[in-house]
Each structure stands twice: as structure tokens, then as C-alpha cells.
Amino acid sequence: MDTSMASGNPFFDDLQNKGEAIDHPQNEDIMDCESLNIPSQAAVKPNGTVSSSVLELLECPVCCNSMYPPILQCLNGHTLCSGCKPKVDNRCPTCRHELGNIRCLALEKLAASLELPCKYQSFGCNGIYPYYSKPKHEYQCSYRPYGCPYAGSECTVIGDIPHLVAHLKDDHKVDMHNGCSFNHRYVKSNPHEVENATWMLTVFSCFGQYFCLHFEAFHIGLAPVYIAFLRFMGDNNEAKNYSYSLEVGGNGRKLIWQGVPRSIRDSHRKVRDSFDGLIIQRNMALFFSGGDRKELKLRVTGRIWKEQ
């Protein structure tokens, strides 16, 4: 970030010292199956079918999710997953007998013999995976749907990229633009009200891909700031093929940010809270706005390009 106004500013020094902290999500469904001598990596099988009655045996009666080792059973042979044992006060949810720490090894070994299709089969994944490898595959499956990238709402829509583009346009009324360069003006009559509110999302069609430009007011600690950043509508491995720059300025000064767009697999909040974008302190934003500093008038320009 080129900051001719930021020299000696403790706010910017603090941001630079913090760096970027990105927490990668953990998959709680991936279990350690070493006690069963089950390989953690398995090749995709060409085909496989399992009856619904067998799958029902592997369904926890409490949480209704698939069970993974250690699968527990009571003295009467009723099973449940280890995660639900504390939820039932150590009593079998079926017969109410007290639960010990008896493992149902027979059911665990039955599960080890199964091969199942990916749960994202309807989105295009045709792989068949061993029961214990399936959660890890599904966590990383390239066919898994994306969540709606619209920030500032509790939107739960998921789907592939064409579906989400149509959803953003029709349901969220997001502005759509063609081209790899942009020039946006953000105006707010009372910039001293910063309520962690997302101001704008704009979608760009460029290089046959879609990109989301976010502009937002929020706080870093007690400091009110603005941030602009770009997200790529696709996976991270594809996002790395592109770069972008953002520029804002006024009164003969300017700030410039250059970076790589983050995938929409990373939530809007995760990107924002890692400060991965153009950050503008409110006092500096008002300086750029000119006039009596009582109204925010920022012009943000930028471009997207493909790395060779």
C-alpha cells in the first residue's frame, strides 16, 4: 500500500505490525481411523451402491448424522455417536440404560467396507468414496456449492456460480458491470456514523469470470475505517491467477492497494477482518473528500488483470 499520508501515523503502523491472520476452517467430521487400519487416502471407485437400511444403521439417533469412530453402544446394543454421549446424560437414548464406553467395533468395520457417492453428486461430482474418506473429500470437493457472497444479510442461498450471479442480480439487485476496470464514487452525508454496515457490493464480469467488489465502513478496535476489497467467484486455486489494484485519493495525495482477490469460499467477514484490502482511516477519507469534511465523497478506481 502506497501511503504518502500514512508516514508516522501510529494507526497505520499498528496495522502493519498486525499482519494478516487467516484461520483455516477445520473439518470436525474427519475422524482418526488408525485403530481400524483404514487408509486415510483412497482412490475414487468407479461405482458403488449401499442400501438405505445399512445407512440407517450408521445414523446417530440423537443428531441424525453419520457416525464415525468411536461408535458407542449400550449393553442392549443400541448405538450412538461419541459426540452425543454427553447430550443424553450418559444414558442410552433408546432404552435409557446407562452408557459405558463400549465401542461397537462390528458397526465400525461394516462402515469400513462401504463405498458411497459424494453428497454433491447433484452438483456434478461422480466420485465414489470409502465411508471414512468421504467426509474429507466432501470438505475439499471442487463441486461443493458456494454460499451467497452478499454481505450484510443472513442470506442462506447456495449454488453454482451462474445460479449465484442470477440470484445477486434478481434478489439482491446488485449492480452488474462488464469490464476489467472501474471507477466508483461513494457518498455519505453523515460519515461519523459507522455501524459495521456494508455499503455496496458490485459484480464485475471480466476474463469470463465474476468478481465481487466490496466497500464497507467498520471499526478496527475503536478506530472507524473504510475498506474496499475484491473477491473471486470461484475457488482459491483459480483466484490466484488474477490480481487487482485499488486507488483512492484527493488533495494531491493517494492510497494504492494491490493484491490477489480472495475466493468467495472465504466469507466476507473473514476477508474484512484480515484487513486484506484497501483500508482508509476516516480522517484521511474526509481529507480526500475535501470541502468542510462533513460529507464523505470518495472515488475508488481499480482494475483487474490476469497473471501470465
Which CATH number covers residue 106?
A: 3.30.40.10
Is 112 a domain residue? yes
Query: Which one is predicted more confidently, 133 or 292?
Result: 133
Domain count for the chain: 2
| Same-domain pairing of 134 and 185 | no
212-270 per-position pLDDT tens digit: 999 988 888 888 889 999 999 999 999 999 999 999 988 888 999 999 999 999 988 89
| Same-domain pairing of 153 and 133 | no
Residue ending a domain, choose from 90, 113, 140: 140
The CA–CA distances, whole Å, from 158 to 10, 150, 264 equal 41, 11, 12
pTM: 0.70
Is 99 a domain residue? yes
* Domain enclosing residue 277, as ranges: 146-306
Rg of the chain over all Cα atoms, to the nearest angstrom: 25
Please check whether residue 226 is in contact with residue 194, taking contact to mean a CB–CB distance below 8 angstroms: no
| Same-domain pairing of 183 and 121 | no
Residue ending a domain, choose from 118, 140, 162: 140
Give the model's confidence band at 32: pLDDT under 50 very low, under 70 low, under 90 confident, else very high: very low
| Cis peptide bond upstream of 70, omega within 30 | yes
Residues ≥6 apart with Cβ < 8 Å to 94:
61, 74, 76, 78
Query: Which one is predicted more confidently, 199 or 109?
Result: 109
Is 30 a domain residue? no
